[in-house]
Structure formats: structure tokens, C-alpha cells
Amino acid sequence: MYWRMVWMNSLAIVRNARWCVVPLFALAILGISVSDIVYYSGGRLHDANEWDILLEMFNDPFKVAVLLPAVYFTMIADTATRDLDGWGYMIWNRGMSRAQWWWSKIGALCVTTFIYTNILWLVALFASLFLVRFESHWSKFVFLSHWSYQGGLTVHQLLVPPPIIMLKIWGLITIGLYALSVCVVLLAFVFHHAGIAWMIGAATSIISYGIWVKIPQASAWAPTLHLVLLTHYGFSSKAPAYFSCIFSIVGGFLLIIIIGAIGHLLVLKREF
């Protein structure tokens, strides 16, 4: 029954009309990224390839730490609260325990995070077919730019094959968004209001980016900066040594478990 409810919850989330915005949002981010590349290259977009577009979309701290989470929180903030109105909980989840109800929401967030992240990546890759060359290696533009553009990498990191870098970026964004979405849904459950939870999540994203701008050495304390490869040790000279990709990935899983357990206890005690 649990897996069936995870599937039903996932469908209930993604069938909402607001999800039609996600591909449009991806195209908007893509447009901004391409314009940034054109600006930094002096109009020489032909020097770039698909890896530059992916770096500019998914390794730029503002896009990843602010825009991606804020939009995703809009998609999932009411995941739990939609069942709390009236007799929705008793009718829609008849036969389930409260614990099953809560953990099915957590499972559904895993599915929807995967869908959201991959929509963004697929749109970027598909659009790149028409905008730049597809190559298996880093482009000439990366070297011409002297790694100064927003998603750029250091010389040391350019020795790593592009697919490995992209896998790290994808993993950080997916796990980070999943962990943060669980927090937002718990806040919505506690306050019984999805709007309040979304505002807290959006404010956290903005504050995190402010920390990156003003005090990047404190990046590990900014929740949404854990989504950005560029802010981690080895990619940023100002990041603390313990702030590695492994640190963020393990921390994300621990946060999911901890917040899930807190929600489990609150759900068992709450009167619906």
C-alpha cells in the first residue's frame, strides 16, 4: 500500500496545473544563461558547447541557490496541507495509518524532485542541440574566458571529464532540493499554511545567496549553497576545507531522515 500511495501522491503533485510552468521556467533560465555566455564571450557563442550551457545554468550560485529552490517550493509546498482541509485526510487516505500518510509524502517528494530536476536538464540539453556544438570535451570558450564566467571552473577541475562534473552537479541539486523540500513541507504541516512555508523557503534561499556574496567562507551554513558545486571546497578558494561534495550529500540524506522523523512524531500527535 505504501508504494501505491507514493505513486498516487506523486501524481497528485505533478498533475497540478502549476507544473506547466516548469518547462517555461527552464527555458527562461536557459535564455538568461545563453545571454550570459554571449556577454562573457564577446558575442562568440560558437566557441561554446553544451557543457558551457549546463555550467552556466546549474553552477551559477544565484540561479541554483535562489531561483531553482524558490520555484520548486511553489510546486510542492502544499503537499501535506492539501489533505488537512475538512475531511480530506480521512477520505483520501482511508485505511492508512498516519505514519504511512506522512512517509508517503516524503516518498512522493523524492519522485517529484527527480522529475523537476530532470525536466530542467532535458530542456537545457535539447535546446543546446540548436544553439551550440555537442562535444565530449570542454570547449574553447572555457579557456578563452579565463574561467571568469559565473559557472566557470578552475584549471584543476578542467582536468576532470565533463560528465563527472555534471554528475556531481546533478547529484548536489537533486539531493539538496529533496532535503529542502522535506523541510518546507514539514513547515507547511506545522503552520497549516503552505504560503508561510514557501515564504520561509524563499527567504532562506535569498539569505543563502547573500552569505555567498558577503561571507563566502561561511557557505556551509547557508542551506541552499549546498546545491551549488561552485561554492564547495576545491571549486571555491574561500570555502572551508570540510565543505566538500560528500559533506553536502551525506548532510542532505541526514536532513531528510531527521526531518522525516520529526514529521513522523508530529503527525502521530496531531489532531486532524
Tens-digit pLDDT profile for residues 156-196: 888 899 999 999 999 999 999 999 999 999 999 999 899 99
CA distance 182 to 202: 14
CA angle 225, 116, 177 (to 5 degrees): 25
Task: Specify which residues 233 forms β-bridges with.
Answer: 236
User: Is residue 110 a contact partner of residue 235, using CB atoms and an 8 Å limit?
Assistant: no
The CA–CA distances, whole Å, from 85 to 73, 245, 267 equal: 20, 40, 15
pTM of the model: 0.92
Residues 5-60 have pLDDT tens digits of 888 889 989 988 899 999 999 999 999 999 988 887 776 777 788 999 999 999 99
Find, among 89, 97, 75, 107, the residue nearest to 4 by Cα.
107
Grid cell for residue 164: 563527472
CA distance 213 to 219: 10
| The 3-state secondary structure of 119-164, one letter per residue | HHHHHHHHHHHHHCECCCCCCHHHHHCCCCCCCCCCCCHHHCCHHH
CA distance 56 to 33: 6
Task: Specify which residues 49 forms β-bridges with.
Answer: 133
H or E element that contains 252: helix 245-269
Mean pLDDT to the nearest integer, 198-222: 96
What is the C-alpha radius of gyration for the chain, rounded to an integer number of angstroms? Answer: 20
pLDDT at 94: 46
Task: Specify which residues 236 forms β-bridges with.
Answer: 233
CA distance 233 to 231: 7
Residues 130-164 have pLDDT tens digits of 988 888 888 877 766 555 567 778 778 888 999 99
What does the mean pLDDT of the chain come to?
89
Q: Which phi and psi angles does 133 have, rounded to 5°?
A: -80, 150
